[in-house]
Amino acid sequence: MARTVLLGLCLLAMSSLSSSAFSQVALDPMLPVYQPISGISGGVLESVGSDTMNRMLTLWAEEFKRFYPGVRPSVDGKGSSNAVPALIAGKCNFGPMSRDVKDSERRAFRAKFGYEPVLLPTSIDMLAVYVNKDNPIEGLAFAQIDAIFSSTRKQGLSPRTMRWSQLAPSVSADISCYGRNAASGTYGYFKEVVLAGGDYGNWVNELPGSAGVVQSVGKNVGGIGYSGIGYQTADVRALKIANEPGGELIEATPRDAYSGRYPLARFLYLAVNYDPTLPLDPMRREFLKYVFSRQGQMQVVKDGYLPLTAEMARDALRTVGIETLSQD
């Protein structure tokens, strides 16, 4: 989803949530309570896609199984690039993605089914740039981060930044870069937004999981890496981020994510194979009603991400022909 759309929906979220939602993340009280139905006795609930959303899908699947004990969940989180191909091949019910669907993926899906995949925003993530907890640097601008990670440096700074002393004289360590691999939607998002579409340097250590990036930075005083805010540990710090050198450094907080001020706020999605001429099957329909319910959004908060407002949840469900439950 375009950043302008995200900003608009985040401003809507600000108007819908009380001010207390910014001191501690709170659910919109208008989110409906999910009530299970009869008739779902079994079946496999499969998701293939984003590693960033792996824990979230697991939490959702486990609670959904408590409503429907016969359901057998399967969560495969090897990267967003696997989501649409798995939907095309019929290997999953849902494709979690930490980025938008690429044009090539849309074309392949449309060639198979005659319509495009539907991408439902489920929650809001703040992608963070982490340094070791013992690194005193407060924050960096996009151009400075680009000069650390990119071989092309399209944000305009040159030469490559290789030592922390180039940014903070009190830090003498060499810079060690950690990031995701090319199968990851986070890899593509960071490349597009922070590197301005430029290329990663061959010195960036590419890792298959979000947690691995954070763990590596936590073990290396010179480390820097990017990962979702939900993966933060006591061994790392999330840097404040500025859009341009000399600009205001913005902290990764719920207030600044919802307002659109934090530059790396993004939606996390579920891709769905939805034929607009047919209703969803009962299991997919009920799982989505659960995800966008009070219970489902509580799991979003539990996993360290930001929940949707009731209006955003209603809009998402209507995209796939579902009317929400009334508020309980």
Indicate whether 248 belongs to any domain: yes
- Structural domain count of the chain: 2
Within this chain, do residues 81 and 33 fall inside the same structural domain, yes or no?
A: yes
- CB-based contact 182:191 (threshold 8 Å): no
Indicate whether 84 belongs to any domain: yes
Within this chain, do residues 169 and 209 fall inside the same structural domain, yes or no?
A: yes
Which of residues 208, 232, 258 is at a domain's end?
258
Model pTM score: 0.84
Within this chain, do residues 226 and 179 fall inside the same structural domain, yes or no?
A: yes
β-pairing verdict for 71-76 and 43-48: parallel
Within this chain, do residues 119 and 130 fall inside the same structural domain, yes or no?
A: no
Which of residues 228, 258, 288 is at a domain's end?
258
Q: Domain holding 135: CATH number?
A: 3.40.190.10
Within this chain, do residues 30 and 133 fall inside the same structural domain, yes or no?
A: no
Instruction: Kindly tell me the number of DSSP H helices and DSSP E strands found in the chain.
Output: 12, 11
pLDDT for 25 beyond 90? no
Closest CA to 252 of 130, 121, 98: 130
Closest CA to 177 of 144, 131, 137: 131
- CB-based contact 27:321 (threshold 8 Å): no
Distances in Å between the alpha carbon of 133 and those of 220, 237, 239, 326? 10, 5, 10, 46
162 contacts: CB under 8 Å, gap ≥ 6: 174, 175
pLDDT tens string 242-283: 999 999 999 999 999 988 999 999 999 999 999 999 999 999
Indicate whether 325 belongs to any domain: no
Indicate whether 328 belongs to any domain: no
CA–CA distance, 231 with 139 (Å, rounded to integer): 19
pLDDT tens string 180-219: 999 999 999 999 999 999 999 999 999 999 999 999 999 9
pLDDT for 234 beyond 50? yes
pLDDT for 24 beyond 80? no
Within this chain, do residues 33 and 110 fall inside the same structural domain, yes or no?
A: yes
Within this chain, do residues 217 and 169 fall inside the same structural domain, yes or no?
A: yes
Indicate whether 19 belongs to any domain: yes
Within this chain, do residues 54 and 144 fall inside the same structural domain, yes or no?
A: no
Closest CA to 121 of 277, 297, 327, 328: 297
67 contacts: CB under 8 Å, gap ≥ 6: 34, 36, 290
Closest CA to 93 of 260, 284, 223: 284
Within this chain, do residues 41 and 100 fall inside the same structural domain, yes or no?
A: yes
Q: Check residue 325 and give its pLDDT.
A: 54
Q: Check residue 284 and give its pLDDT.
A: 98
Please, what's the largest Cα pairwise distance for the chain?
Answer: 65
Within this chain, do residues 34 and 101 fall inside the same structural domain, yes or no?
A: yes
Q: What are phi and psi of 109, to 5 degrees?
A: -65, -45
CA–CA distance, 166 with 44 (Å, rounded to integer): 53
The single-letter DSSP state of residue 42 is -
Indicate whether 50 belongs to any domain: yes
- CB-based contact 169:136 (threshold 8 Å): no
CA–CA distance, 226 with 150 (Å, rounded to integer): 13
Q: Could you tell me the residue range of the domain that residue 211 belongs to? A: 126-258
CB atoms closer than 10 angstroms to residue 254: 24
CB atoms closer than 10 angstroms to residue 99: 24
pLDDT for 6 beyond 60? no
Within this chain, do residues 130 and 196 fall inside the same structural domain, yes or no?
A: yes
Distances in Å between the alpha carbon of 264 and those of 53, 233, 243? 16, 19, 10
Mean pLDDT, the chain, rounded, equals 91
- Give the three-state DSSP class for 206: strand
- Give the three-state DSSP class for 124: strand
Indicate whether 235 belongs to any domain: yes
Transcribe 259-290 into DSSP letters.
TT-STTEEEEEEEE---TTSPPPHHHHHHHHH
CA–CA distance, 91 with 109 (Å, rounded to integer): 14
Q: What are phi and psi of 240, to 5 degrees?
A: -75, 150
Q: Check residue 324 and give its pLDDT.
A: 66
Indicate whether 150 belongs to any domain: yes
Within this chain, do residues 60 and 103 fall inside the same structural domain, yes or no?
A: yes
Which of residues 234, 258, 282 is at a domain's end?
258
Tokens of 97: 């993605």
Average pLDDT (293-320) is 96
